[in-house]
Structure 1
Amino acid sequence: MIWLIASLIIVGVLAYGRVPLRRATLVLAGWLGLYSLAQGGNLVFLLWVVFDAIFIPLNVPAIRKRLFSSVVFKVMKQMLPPMSQTEREALEAGNTWWDAELFSGHPDWKILLDLPAPKLTAEELAFIDGPVETLCGMLDDWDITHNRRDLPVEVWDYIKQHKFCGMIIPKRYGGLEFSEYAHSEVVMKISSRSTTAAVTVMVPNSLGPAKLLLAYGAEQQKNHYLPRLAKGEEIPAFALTGPLAGSDAGAMPDTGVVCYGWFPSSSLGTSGKDKVLGIRLNWEKRYITLGPVATVLGLAFKLYDPEHLIGDQENIGITVALIPTDTAGVSIGRRHFPLDSAFQNGPNWGKDVFIPMDWIIGGKEQVGNGWKMLMQCLATGRAVSLPALSTGASKMVSRNSGAYARIRKQFNLPIGEFEGIEEPLSRIAGETYIIDAARKVTAAALDDGQKPSVISAIIKYELTERMRRVVNDGMDIQGGSGICMGPKNYLGRMYQVIPVSITVEGANILTRTMMIFGQGAVRCHPYIQREMEALGHDNLDRFDQVLFEHIGSVLHNLAAGFWLGLTGGRFVEVPGDQHTRRYFRQIARLSVGFALVADFALLTLGGSLKRKERISGRFADVLSNLYLCSCVLKNFQDQGSPEDDLPLLDWACQQTLHRAQQSLLAIFHALPMRIPAYLLRAVLFPGGKPYSPPADHLIHQTAALLLKNSPVRDSLTHGIYINYKPDDVTGRIEVAFQAVLAAAPVEAKIHAAQKQKKLPKGSIVDVLDAAISNSIISKKEAELIVAAEKARFAAIGVDDFSPEQLSNTGKI
């Protein structure tokens, strides 16, 4: 038994240390030799036979390939699911970054922590403090959504005049040429004021003609369109989704056929036409944001060349073209009405629309590359706008619902002091901290040149879902004032439009179950993609090499998973200080477990894993939460590790680690080969579940941060629109919050006097005169109470309407 245990330890050490095969063979041969000298007998002979049968073929590549690799090669080739061209191009979009490190089981922290912290230039900061601040002051969300159902003309003009739609366009084309971080900051601030305005600004700067032109456009197209887009002379919309094709782009029925046609010739005047080579289009699209007001459509369609006018291929594939909306045959339909929202969104269609070939983005050379172009642009666009909108909404709820919980009283106490209210307040603060950290770190990675497609899917899904929970918690705290719509309700409209953000740029259900892990399992895995390439090229030599690297990695992760589970990760080398080091260690531990279980799932399920969406969704949750926890630690470091932020840091790390653990444990119940699966669970979690959600004392600490003026509250909600106008929808809450806090010491004096029976019981306003006459408070202090009660009543006020007003509004 001692020899057996020692042998297992030696094998574990060799695997943990990633010792090369030949060196490991020598070590094991030496150990077996010692055992032979000490024991002898028939068992030793049998052990040598087994050892030679395994390790001699493994160390001789020609034998290994013939006896082992070729067999695995054939099996994997049969198991490999068929892959469509759209799936292949989606997999090739963008690149990998920290997601690949987490997938490796051995993350290199230097890659994350050496990333420069995001910063605004002086020009970007001036724009945010100037035009963005002014724009936010112009926005009345109730008027926009309830009365106008559109932005006012002066707001549209201001957005165009100050080039809000040209943030990503370089200065040489007349744009602002802002960083992705500045782009994110602008959208975040506007979204804290009006979702309609935020969507209007973010769409042209996200997935749209400008981004596609910058990446793929011909120089002539750039010179024509980009200056006009930057100035707002052109309003862009991107037409991809149709009635029969949402996430399944391969089902797109919209077609273009290469042919000759007559097209207006500038050389012959407006009435003259030339016969030119072009495309005849027929399409029907819907859900197109800015579609009803667009002057130019970025249109995705399937291109066919039945007469082989541009090549030998008949079915060319998805192609993207820019089409002015005043082109003959283009119809811009009426507006959709998405959840009582006011942003412009609607259908459009085209019937026998003829366009010249040079309207294709990038010209004829880019025919058939449309899906690749879209996936490449989404790899970055998805990572900016919606995460920024989610952050703005979450910060706004944190600041205002926290203030409301301090202002609003029940049973003579601020409702924020009730334990029942502390729980949602704590979630609001903690989730907002996570959301903002992920937004900033990802924007910094984009500005550093990364295009992480899997991470873009992670933060789109996670940040919109977490924002949904933040807004729901805010609505619970607001109570009746949250559900009664009107000019005073700052949260109800945001609650209504939540599903918009979780639907666009990839519906969240599919983003979680198909994109994050489905795409990540191939793109981020250190070996799968290389193995697939070797299989695709029938390259057995390359496959053999990668396969044994993969096997070595699995053995390492098995040994590392058990060791880290046994020791709680205490001896793994990680960065951080005395407070953060434990969290770095737990990410490392769960990364090993994630990588090992992912390999087990791929081995046992093979190509069918593609259809096991409940399993892939849980894998997505593990990877996502590990990424979010990493971002929290990175952002904490970038901010100088402020001690006041420790409650938020602890809450965020404990919540994400616990959710990653629970998702990983849930996978074991869904895997086939249950006995090996449970043995694997025992290896990774030998002591049971190590991570718990935030404890009660931490819930109290984080909730309290939103109930008082502090640098932490200001830092947590930094970057949103804040004003102190008593007649403004959020300004009245800020005014009341400051007034109530200023009056709190005076209020404490009066309550103490009432307890001592120096003052009669009753409303604080009713005993003010007695408190002054008894010298308990001064007249100046009494004025603070009066001002606070007036502001409190204004802040908790709810709109009411006459029957005539309600019957004459909101009609369609």
Structure 2
Amino acid sequence: MIPLTEEQQMLQAMVRRMAREKLKPRAAEIDNTGEFPWDIVELFRENGLFGIHFPEEYGGSGGGVVDLCLAVEEVAQGCSDAAVILAGQALGSKLILLSGSEEQKRKYLPRIASGEFIPAFALTEPGAGSDNVSMQSRAVRDGDYYVINGRKIFITHADVADIFTLFAKTDPEKKARGISAFIINKGTPGLGIGKIEKKMAHKGNHACEVILEDVRVPRENLVGAEGEGFMEAMKILTTSRPVTAARAVGLAQVALDEAVAYAKTRVQFGQPIAKFQGIQFMLADMAIKVEAARQLVYNAAFLADRDYKSKEAQRASSMAKCFATDTAMQVTCDAVQVFGGYGYMREYPVERLMREAKVTQIVEGTNQVQRVVIARALLED
């Protein structure tokens, strides 16, 4: 683990206490009801968590990716749905933070940092998941406006979002270099929310279809120059993948903790199952993987804070995301195995943790894509 400043240690301790006292008691209820937890949004607002990674000049705390990862890991140990809210606030605003004009930053970032605005990151389409370049959404220039038509899917928080950071093609012939990025405000005519998906987990954070029909976006809402959207999206993912990885580490850690506690108290054959070497080896392997994942996450976060544009940061980001999320899936599955039949029942938390871990291997680039990114970086050296 990289050395933490006194401020980072205080942040970690504060969020850990909040997760234990306020978030953990809500996790199962949110999973059961599928309702967006506005009370958690308000809790984050009151404690300034939405502003962790924003510069002070835009109403934030002046932290970076490391600070955000610390908070997200701790929040995930209490409630993964809550961690999605915190991470989503960062993902939806990164386009403006990293590539926006000064006017765009001053207009939007203070309201996102305070939690007044909830942003949504709109990239994925029905035929463009891992292959973002295949997106079909079009933005056509019309005087001082762009007219956007298209359809996005699986967009987290679209139904509660105040703004969308959205990507569309301005010049399809140029492929990746023909994609541009825009800010679209809620209520813009032609912008609609379609199907809300029924998901395996994280049911309190809705994944929605976003429909764009002749949506007129003013030219000043173009972020960066025309054709720079794809590269901007890749920069965003270099800084956001460690955050998803931190969420996975939080999930894995709480699954390990639950498995250890259960193994100490579950008696079979006249003794706690923790006395059996087979269980001990499972727990040891789980602990090794969780700690290895944590080290990769904070190294990637450190490198992203130092220079997110560097090849080193990009490779580390993919490594952390891939390993940590694979670890979360493996460790939560193993936790269910330690619990035996009880682990399969919704009465116990490890069943939910396993469902929550799965999506981390898919979002922000599947782990197969991460391995392609890592291999290319190795072969280019």
**In structure 2, what is the equivalent of residue 330 of structure 1?**
191
**In structure 1, what is the equivalent of residue 152 of structure 2?**
285
The verdict on how the C-alpha distance between 1:224 and 1:283 changes in structure 2, with shifts beyond 3 A counting, is same
**In structure 1, what is the equivalent of residue 9 of structure 2?**
125
**In structure 2, what is the equivalent of residue 501 of structure 1?**
360
**In structure 1, what is the equivalent of residue 261 of structure 2?**
403
**In structure 2, what is the equivalent of residue 380 of structure 1?**
239
Deviation readout 1:645-666 (Å, 9 max, x if unpaired): xxxxxxxxxxxxxxxxxxxxxx
Output the CA distance in 2 between the equivalents of 1:465 and 1:131.
25
For 1:407, give the aligned amino acid.
Answer: T
Alignment of 1:471 onto 2:359: no
The verdict on how the C-alpha distance between 1:521 and 1:232 changes in structure 2, with shifts beyond 3 A counting, is same
**In structure 2, what is the equivalent of residue 303 of structure 1?**
170
For 1:118, give the aligned amino acid.
Answer: P
For 1:164, give the aligned amino acid.
Answer: L
**In structure 1, what is the equivalent of residue 32 of structure 2?**
146
The verdict on how the C-alpha distance between 1:446 and 1:305 changes in structure 2, with shifts beyond 3 A counting, is closer
**In structure 1, what is the equivalent of residue 111 of structure 2?**
228
Output the CA distance in 1 between the equivalents of 2:76 and 2:156.
16
Alignment of 1:432 onto 2:290: yes
Out of 236, 242, 247, the residue aligned to residue 125 of structure 2 is 242
Output the CA distance in 2 between the equivalents of 1:337 and 1:243.
16
Output the CA distance in 2 between the equivalents of 1:391 and 1:474.
14
Q: What is the CA-CA distance between 1:216 and the residue it aligns to?
A: 1.3
For 2:247, give the aligned amino acid.
Answer: L
Output the CA distance in 2 between the equivalents of 1:141 and 1:434.
26
**In structure 1, what is the equivalent of residue 76 of structure 2?**
191
For 2:80, give the aligned amino acid.
Answer: T
The verdict on how the C-alpha distance between 1:193 and 1:305 changes in structure 2, with shifts beyond 3 A counting, is closer
Out of 137, 151, 159, the residue aligned to residue 254 of structure 1 is 137
Gaps of 5+ in 1: 1-115, 261-276, 307-312, 526-812
The verdict on how the C-alpha distance between 1:443 and 1:410 changes in structure 2, with shifts beyond 3 A counting, is same
Deviation readout 1:393-425 (Å, 9 max, x if unpaired): 222122221121111111111101212212311
For 1:356, give the aligned amino acid.
Answer: P
**In structure 2, what is the equivalent of residue 170 of structure 1?**
55
The verdict on how the C-alpha distance between 1:136 and 1:285 changes in structure 2, with shifts beyond 3 A counting, is farther
For 1:477, give the aligned amino acid.
Answer: V
Output the CA distance in 1 between the equivalents of 2:35 and 2:141.
39
> What is the correspondence of 1:751-790 to structure 2 with a 5 Å cutoff?
none
Which segment is superposed worse, 334-343 or 234-243? 334-343
> What is the correspondence of 1:603-622 to structure 2 with a 5 Å cutoff?
none
Contact 1:151 1:196 in 2 (8 A): no
The verdict on how the C-alpha distance between 1:409 and 1:132 changes in structure 2, with shifts beyond 3 A counting, is closer
Out of 195, 200, 207, the residue aligned to residue 339 of structure 1 is 200
Contact 1:457 1:511 in 2 (8 A): yes
Output the CA distance in 1 between the equivalents of 2:175 and 2:306.
41
**In structure 1, what is the equivalent of residue 86 of structure 2?**
201
Output the CA distance in 2 between the equivalents of 1:314 and 1:458.
27
For 1:287, give the aligned amino acid.
Answer: F
Deviation readout 1:433-469 (Å, 9 max, x if unpaired): 2112222333333344454111211111111111211
Output the CA distance in 1 between the equivalents of 2:206 and 2:110.
23
Q: What is the CA-CA distance between 1:377 and the residue it aligns to?
A: 2.0
Contact 1:135 1:155 in 2 (8 A): no
Q: What is the CA-CA distance between 1:298 and the residue it aligns to?
A: 0.5
The verdict on how the C-alpha distance between 1:219 and 1:447 changes in structure 2, with shifts beyond 3 A counting, is closer
Deviation readout 1:3-35 (Å, 9 max, x if unpaired): xxxxxxxxxxxxxxxxxxxxxxxxxxxxxxxxx
Contact 2:172 2:179 in 1 (8 A): no
The verdict on how the C-alpha distance between 1:305 and 1:385 changes in structure 2, with shifts beyond 3 A counting, is closer
For 2:153, give the aligned amino acid.
Answer: R
Q: What is the CA-CA distance between 1:503 and the residue it aligns to?
A: 0.6
Q: What is the CA-CA distance between 1:131 and the residue it aligns to?
A: 5.4
Q: What is the CA-CA distance between 1:136 and the residue it aligns to?
A: 4.3
Q: What is the CA-CA distance between 1:324 and the residue it aligns to?
A: 0.4
Q: What is the CA-CA distance between 1:142 and the residue it aligns to?
A: 1.1
> What is the correspondence of 1:25-104 to structure 2 with a 5 Å cutoff?
none
Q: What is the CA-CA distance between 1:515 and the residue it aligns to?
A: 1.5
Output the CA distance in 2 between the equivalents of 1:315 and 1:414.
58
Q: What is the CA-CA distance between 1:519 and the residue it aligns to?
A: 4.0
Q: What is the CA-CA distance between 1:304 and the residue it aligns to?
A: 3.7
**In structure 2, what is the equivalent of residue 485 of structure 1?**
346
Query: What is the SS of the residue equivalent to 1:253?
Result: coil
Out of 359, 373, 377, the residue aligned to residue 221 of structure 2 is 359
Query: What is the SS of the residue equivalent to 2:81?
Result: helix
Out of 205, 212, 216, the residue aligned to residue 350 of structure 1 is 212
**In structure 2, what is the equivalent of residue 628 of structure 1?**
none
For 2:49, give the aligned amino acid.
Answer: F
**In structure 2, what is the equivalent of residue 517 of structure 1?**
375
For 2:152, give the aligned amino acid.
Answer: K
Alignment of 1:215 onto 2:98: yes
> What is the correspondence of 1:582-601 to structure 2 with a 5 Å cutoff?
none
> What is the correspondence of 1:686-725 to structure 2 with a 5 Å cutoff?
none
For 2:216, give the aligned amino acid.
Answer: F
The verdict on how the C-alpha distance between 1:127 and 1:433 changes in structure 2, with shifts beyond 3 A counting, is closer
Gaps of 5+ in 2: none
**In structure 1, what is the equivalent of residue 42 of structure 2?**
157
Output the CA distance in 2 between the equivalents of 1:316 and 1:404.
53
Contact 2:122 2:165 in 1 (8 A): yes
For 1:294, give the aligned amino acid.
Answer: A
**How well do the aligned residues superpose, as a CA RMSD in angstroms?**
2.2
Query: What is the SS of the residue equivalent to 1:333?
Result: strand
Deviation readout 1:57-92 (Å, 9 max, x if unpaired): xxxxxxxxxxxxxxxxxxxxxxxxxxxxxxxxxxxx
The verdict on how the C-alpha distance between 1:340 and 1:456 changes in structure 2, with shifts beyond 3 A counting, is closer
Contact 2:120 2:161 in 1 (8 A): yes
Deviation readout 1:485-529 (Å, 9 max, x if unpaired): 13xx121111112221111000112222x221034322xx1xxxx
Larger radius of gyration: 1
Q: What is the CA-CA distance between 1:315 and the residue it aligns to?
A: 10
For 1:138, give the aligned amino acid.
Answer: K
Identical-residue share of aligned pairs (%): 27
For 1:332, give the aligned amino acid.
Answer: I
Output the CA distance in 2 between the equivalents of 1:126 and 1:117.
15
The verdict on how the C-alpha distance between 1:434 and 1:127 changes in structure 2, with shifts beyond 3 A counting, is closer
Contact 1:321 1:359 in 2 (8 A): yes
The verdict on how the C-alpha distance between 1:136 and 1:360 changes in structure 2, with shifts beyond 3 A counting, is farther
Query: What is the SS of the residue equivalent to 1:281?
Result: strand
Deviation readout 1:333-363 (Å, 9 max, x if unpaired): 242222043222211111011111111113x
Deviation readout 1:168-223 (Å, 9 max, x if unpaired): 11111111222322211110011011111001111222x32x22212211111111
Contact 1:170 1:176 in 2 (8 A): yes
The verdict on how the C-alpha distance between 1:359 and 1:494 changes in structure 2, with shifts beyond 3 A counting, is same
> What is the correspondence of 1:526-605 to structure 2 with a 5 Å cutoff?
none
Q: What is the CA-CA distance between 1:133 and the residue it aligns to?
A: 2.4
The structure in which a higher percent of residues are strand is 2
Alignment of 1:456 onto 2:317: yes
For 1:453, give the aligned amino acid.
Answer: Q
Query: What is the SS of the residue equivalent to 1:285?
Result: strand
Query: What is the SS of the residue equivalent to 2:192?
Result: strand
- Tell me which stretches of 4 or more aligned residues in structure 1 moved more than 6 Å: 313-316
Contact 2:322 2:370 in 1 (8 A): yes
**In structure 2, what is the equivalent of residue 92 of structure 1?**
none
The verdict on how the C-alpha distance between 1:455 and 1:126 changes in structure 2, with shifts beyond 3 A counting, is closer
Q: TM-score, normalised by structure 1?
A: 0.44
